[in-house]
Amino acid sequence: MHPSPVAHPASRPAGSGRAHGQVLGSCPPGAMYGKFYSNKNLFEDTLGDWYFGTIEQLADSGAALTSNASRCMTDLLYRNDGNRPLLAMLTGPPGRVLDCGCGPGDNARLLKERGWRVTAVTNDVRERDAALPFCDNIVLADLENGLPDTLSDSFDVVIMSHVLEHLARPARLLADVRERLSSEGAAAIALPNVLHYQQRIRFLRGDFTYTDTGVLDRTHLRFYTYSTGRQLLERHGFVIVHAVPDGFLPWWRLRRVIPQQSRRPLDRWASIRWPNLLAVQSLFLAKVAGSAMPPRTGKQHLRSWS
């Protein structure tokens, strides 16, 4: 999904859909948006209820993670656990899915296990070869130019997991996705949140330095919050039917004291209450405007300013 920090630029937009997780090989979990973080407070730089337990087990192993960082950063392909919070939004029966920016096939693997028939797009031959066992078809193409004409079929779901921020002109891809969705189809989109509280602290310090990792990745051409991510989709002909601000409270060392089962409900509640402040990634399930499913946005009191 998300591009390797050392991948050549041409491979990044179409391969930018890699989910957070770990780099190929024996590197530990802890990559967010496809980037390996060597921060020893690892649990504060990662997200997702599904692996908080793993993160806590690693909370005291920052030194070991740091020692592996340089080796991990040299791998061009990322093998990880997939963007499970995004895929959890797909509650209907399995059908045909298009994975835009498939990376080495981490989301495709999970989808295939659930019975989906996966078609994928990447512009990296190495990613194509890695993802091929999990896909019925993989097309080499640059998503900056939209979907290739060879993808003429319709799909029940189109996945864009951390892809749109790598595109200078996301409108082209979004228009093509609208045309490829079936009448009951939906797009599943994940976007990083540029106004997460950790990023705000850096901005307040006057730090807007591009890096090889994270939200200010040098290959990110656009930046979104939870609110502007919604606006992007609605402006380009989509209706949001389900939205999840996926984040957590700044527990810091309290994570070692407060039980996980006690924190999770608070993390969910707070992320819904202040999505632009706490969400690390914004997850959206969207249908083409005018299609059958009525909007189901959940909590209506989300504060756009938070």
The answer to whether residue 306 sits within a structural domain is: no
- The CATH number of whichever domain residue 146 belongs to comes to 3.40.50.150
The answer to whether residue 132 sits within a structural domain is: yes
The answer to whether residue 22 sits within a structural domain is: yes
The answer to whether residue 114 sits within a structural domain is: yes
Report the C-alpha gap between 98 and 153 in whole angstroms.
10
Question: What are the E-state strand segments in 62-202?
Answer: 96-100, 117-122, 137-140, 155-161, 181-192
- The helix or strand, by DSSP H or E, that contains position 32, with its residue range, turns out to be strand 31-32
pLDDT for residue 276? 94
The answer to whether residue 76 sits within a structural domain is: yes
Range of the domain at 272: 9-288
- What would the 3-class secondary structure string for 83-113 be? CHHHHCCCCCCCCEEEEECCCCCHHHHHHHH
- The helix or strand, by DSSP H or E, that contains position 241, with its residue range, turns out to be strand 238-247
Report the C-alpha gap between 271 and 41 in whole angstroms.
20
Name the nearest CA neighbour of 275 among 240, 305, 234, 255. 305
Report the C-alpha gap between 27 and 294 in whole angstroms.
43
| Number of DSSP helices (H) and strands (E) in the chain, helices first | 11, 9
pLDDT for residue 94? 95
The answer to whether residue 225 sits within a structural domain is: yes
The answer to whether the predicted template modeling score (pTM) of the entire model surpasses 0.85 is no
Domain count of the chain?
A: 1
Tens of pLDDT along the chain (306 residues) come to 443 332 333 334 334 443 333 333 333 333 333 332 223 233 333 333 333 333 333 333 333 333 333 333 334 444 568 899 999 999 989 999 999 999 899 999 999 999 999 999 998 899 999 999 999 999 999 999 999 999 988 999 999 999 999 999 999 999 999 999 999 999 999 999 999 999 999 999 999 988 876 788 888 989 999 999 999 999 999 999 999 999 999 998 888 899 988 999 999 999 999 999 999 999 999 999 887 554 444 443 333 334
The answer to whether residue 187 sits within a structural domain is: yes
The answer to whether residue 295 sits within a structural domain is: no
pLDDT for residue 141? 95
